[in-house]
Amino acid sequence: MNIVILAAGMGKRMQSALPKVLHPLAGKPLLSHVIDTARTLSPSALCVVYGHGGEAVPDLLKSSDLEFAKQEPQLGTGHAVMQAVPYLKDTVPTLVLYGDVPLISARTLQRLLDNSGGDKLSILTVELNDPTGYGRIVRECGHIVRIVEQKDASEAERAICEVNSGIMVVPTVLLKKWLATLSNDNAQGEYYLTDIVAQAVADGLPVRSAQPDAVWETLGVNSKSQLADLERIYQRNVADRLLEQGVTLADPNRIDVRGSLTCGRDVTIDVNCVFEGKVQLEDGVSIGANCVIKDAKIARGAVIKPFCHIEEAVIGADSVIGPYARLRPGTELAEDVHIGNFVEVKNSHIAAHSKANHLAYVGDATVGSRVNVGAGTITCNYDGANKHRTVIEDDVFIGSDTQLVAPVTVGKGATLGAGTTLTKDAPAGQLTVSRPKQVSVAGWQRPVKTKK
């Protein structure tokens, strides 16, 4: 089939310079959701009609399988589809979608396509308790004869609760014929795509309908309030799927998945956690409250305590992270590694059973097994121009408030005394200390505040 996605609207009620279809839902643009669903149908042609926002839409979403047609000025849905005509193949039907209706499912669209049979006009309709603002489906003897827009509808027609979602599939040759005869003689002075329904009836073409699995599939976004509503619907759907898979969620209404989240058995997720990109949680992982995790793999039995920020990191089995830890890109932790509160790790490999329990920075480092990194320790990896690597071998003990000025190596089994500033390699198995001589001054008195 051909698929045309209408995405040219301004979205005045969004109160934003960003084109409406580029506003994010679950971490990606509204339009991207529609495009991704369209791709699952394997269309022979996929055309996005854009307009408001200039080239922002094609610049952000350009892809080898997408064609872009510009609608300028915007003169209605029929006029928008006209812009896509050069990209439509006559031998297959055309499915019309909307870039601001992000939750439409492939299952519903396939039902609509099946109803059309490839040679009939088929419309996705939905029953609403309050149909205000929607085009009404007018039937005679049970058959659809036309669609009337809210502003053009009579009082009796406005009482109809079956409405047009805007999504339809049309034989392409007839679509092109009907588009050429559209008129803008209506209350809004626009060319309505819905007017082709009456033309189909006049030409004797059967007009069929299909309904979505859920009303929310057809809901569009015209304001930030509506965007927020759809965000919650999307996230609750994700939460329900996780619950069905056996994931324990402390509160299904307080989780945000902005990408893909894969969970093993007996995974527990506390409230207000955000998952971005591709996140994998293996069996028995526990995620504490208020964590942000992006593009990460967390192995079995790991415990992530509250308020951690993890990005592009791999965490080994049975490790304990946080609270208030930050793992930055390039971090790889082996099994049973402990990273405690206010510890930051970046572009570093830490081997099994090592720990940095508080107030430390480990950057551009290779850390061996059974290493203890004391509180206040930092790897000084940046000289103002270049990054340098620190190597800490197995069984090293690093005292508190130590600075390791890279490039430097701490040999196996070495001990660094508290307060050491290490600028040369520390020999294996030895104690290395670098600190000023301690002095006590007899008779010294602390200054007192002068009375005024």
Q: Beta-carbon neighbour count of residue 441 at 10 Å? A: 6
State the DSSP string of 288-301.
-TT-EEES-EE-TT
Say which residues have a Cβ less than 8 Å from residue 384's Cβ, sequence separation at least 6: none
Exposure letters 192-219 (e unless 16+ CB within 10 A, then b)? bbbbbbbbbbeeebebbbbbbeeebbbb
Using an 8 Å Cβ cutoff, are 381 and 372 in contact? no
E-only strand ranges, 30-104: 45-50, 67-70, 94-98
Q: Which of 79, 143, 358, 388 is catalytic?
A: 358
The angle that helices 172-179 and 77-84 make with each other, rounded to 10 degrees, is 120
Can 309 be counted among the known catalytic residues?
no
Neighbouring C-beta atoms of residue 399, cutoff 10 Å: 21
Residue with tokens 């040219």: 8
- Which phi and psi angles does 96 have, rounded to 5°? -105, 120
Q: Catalytic residue positions?
A: 358
